[in-house]
Amino acid sequence: MAHIDDLIAEDINLYLKKHEEKEILRFITCGSVDDGKSTLIGRMLYESHMLFDDHLAALEQDSRNIGTQEKGIDFALLVDGLSAEREQGITIDVAYRFFSTDRRKYIVADTPGHEEYTRNMATGSSTADVAIILVDARNGIMTQTRRHSFIVSMLGVKKIILAINKLDLVNYSKEIYDKIVQDYTIFAENALEIEEITSIPISALLGDNIISKSDNTKWYNGPTIMDYLETVEIIGDNNSNPFRMPVQWVNRPNLDFRGYCGMIASGKIKPGDEIRVLPGGQQSTIKSIFFNNNELKIATSGKSVTITLSDEIDVSRGNVIVSAKDPGGEANQFQAHILWLSDDAMIPGRQYIFKSNTQTSLLNLGRLKYQINVNTLNQTPAKELGLNQIAVCNISLDKRIAFDPYKENKTTGGFIIIDKITNHTVGMGLIDFALRRSDNIHWQSMDITKEQRAIQKSQSPKIIWFTGLSGSGKSSIANILEKKLHSMGHHTIILDGDNIRHGLNKDLGFTEADRVENIRRVGEVAKLMVESGLICITAFISPFESERRMIRSLVSEEEFIEIYVDTPLEICEKRDVKGLYAKARSGQLPNFTGISSPFEAPQNPEIRIDTTKVSTESAADTVIDFLTKNQLT
């Protein structure tokens, strides 16, 4: 008996080994709420589990010549378990399910259908080979059907199963099925870049056309869900694409060894191959490749390796090692598709953090070229982008990065957008192409430097940034401060909010997007004033913390002084010589800071001034005392 048990164990190990060596198909289930995603996944897990147990039972019967024992799991309990996860909020993240058949291993991204979880669905789509778009036969094509289809297409999924579910609830009507297929086909032809759409009538609950053909749909001659998944061609493993490896870290245990570590995103590499390091373009050849301390003759995509080079060149985290024969590009300005993932609107001109694999940069979003309406497919103008909305816009970075268009390489063409203040991911983007001006416009070096201009003026140039509510006293203090600095022999200039809107920014209104752009322009002008050696004094409400941080980042730390004129709202209203607060209270002046638009007070300004306790003259003296004590003049 022990000998027979050993034979059974050996057969099982061989079976498990066979599973390890199978190719992997990744797919995602998408659709509106209650279209049947959990039920479909439950059915697949249940059926695949039974297939696995049947195989083991057959092994036992062959070895022991005994009858099989009923194993398996209850399908209804499995589906209830998946549904319970949703009720517990587990669907905030993508849930990945795993199962296997004789031919393949499967990884399915189980994402919720609720609109607020579109980010999860997009995450799951980014690595999928196939998308199963479920449609409730009773409801037909819904908004989420279109949105999810558009996103999976945008993210590079080329094969779709249109699973028309719950046919049992419409008496397996061929007419209803045909109408949904027709509607979806028209939508897909106009909206999607899909190579293959396979429509399948199913009942996930009852198992119709999931594993085996259903007698209830004798009018259907196509494959079942599993027939399709078992036979569909997997596009590939990226080995045929040009070599790309983002450098994650540099391993230098001693002076004799310098290795560059990372996961190969695409292509393959071997010793002797010529490479280039981007950005920058330094060239060398591969000297050796290591994986788990073993030297390799060749390494392919998906493998994490350490490579050494024949030359001592400067390579660090954030660089990308690429094929010298097909290096891709480097640039700092792009057109991109953006999917916004935050409740707080995306506002052009606001500064965010750009992250693509190991490359990070500061990102400025340009004006939106157009927003894409996933229902009508129209390209509509927009000034900002809301949750789950998609747009095409230009972006600019503060440094050049290595890239490929997303359609050519998902790793080097995709990126996420991170809020600088909260550190939350607020968007994801796909690079379409580099803008030509990225290569045609170069920074022109000047012989006279900022330092030389400052020495000529015998002062330290800086931005003195007054912020506070309308009527707080910013402009009055700034005006007195400039007179005092001027009398001390300093070279100054004032940029005032009202004055700037008469010229440079007269095309801007007072929406949140326009206010962000107003401050962005002022910041760039203030930076030029610092470059010229001047002390630039500004007086702007500048209500948003993110924009004030952005201005601070334009110059060195000691060159930016934030002064918060902290005057209570009720005092500002009493000083309202322009009558602005009264108009705002009556609704005649929308988006007015402090009334119908927020003011984000500075948390750690260099100077805080309470004008209810000090005069404007004393406030100006406070600023001068600060500059003198800190040797900033």
Let me know: does 341 contact 119? Beta carbons within 8 Å. Answer: yes
- In this prediction, residue 392 carries a pLDDT of 92
Q: Choose the CATH number for 244-323 among 2.60.40.790, 3.30.2350.10, 2.40.30.10, 2.40.50.140.
A: 2.40.30.10
- In this prediction, residue 84 carries a pLDDT of 47
Let me know: does 341 contact 271? Beta carbons within 8 Å. Answer: no
User: 75-122: per-residue pLDDT in tens?
Assistant: 555 555 444 444 444 334 566 777 777 788 888 887 765 666 666 777
- In this prediction, residue 14 carries a pLDDT of 58
Q: Which residues of the chain have pLDDT under 70?
A: 1-21, 48-95, 112-119, 235-238, 375, 437-446, 632-633
Cα of 125 vs its chain's centroid, Å: 13
- According to DSSP, the β-strands at 95-100 and 607-609 are unpaired
User: Measured between alpha carbons, how far is 336 from 352 in angstroms, rounded to an integer?
Assistant: 15
Q: Which fold has domain 334-437?
A: Elongation Factor Tu (Ef-tu); domain 3 (2.40.30)
- In this prediction, residue 92 carries a pLDDT of 41
User: Measured between alpha carbons, how far is 589 from 570 in angstroms, rounded to an integer?
Assistant: 18
**Structure letter (DSSP) for residue 103:** S
Cα of 113 vs its chain's centroid, Å: 20
Let me know: does 526 contact 463? Beta carbons within 8 Å. Answer: yes
Token duo for residue 144: 């989420």
Catalytically active residues, by annotation: 542
User: Which residue's structure tokens are 């230009």?
Assistant: 394
- Domain residue spans of the chain: 2-231, 244-323, 334-437, 450-629
Burial of 545 (0-12, 13-18, 19+ CB in 10 A): middle
Token duo for residue 453: 């201009």
Give me the DSSP letters along 167-182: GGGGTT-HHHHHHHHH
| Three-state SS at 595 | coil
- In this prediction, residue 39 carries a pLDDT of 87
User: Measured between alpha carbons, how far is 321 from 281 in angstroms, rounded to an integer?
Assistant: 10
- According to DSSP, the β-strands at 425-434 and 390-403 are unpaired
The answer to whether 244-323 and 450-629 have equal CATH topology is: no
- In this prediction, residue 88 carries a pLDDT of 44
Let me know: does 526 contact 499? Beta carbons within 8 Å. Answer: no
H helix count then E strand count, the chain: 17, 28
User: Within 140-249, where are the H helices?
Assistant: 143-154, 174-191, 225-231
Q: Choose the CATH number for 450-629 among 1.10.10.60, 3.40.50.2300, 3.40.50.300, 3.90.226.10.
A: 3.40.50.300
- What is Dmax (Cα atoms) for the chain? 106
- In this prediction, residue 176 carries a pLDDT of 96
CATH assignment, 2-231: 3.40.50.300
- In this prediction, residue 86 carries a pLDDT of 45
| Three-state SS at 495 | strand
**Given phi > 0 = left and psi -120 to 50 = alpha, else beta, which region is 606?**
alpha
- In this prediction, residue 112 carries a pLDDT of 66
- In this prediction, residue 93 carries a pLDDT of 52
The dihedrals phi and psi of 337, each to the nearest 5 degrees, come to -85, 135
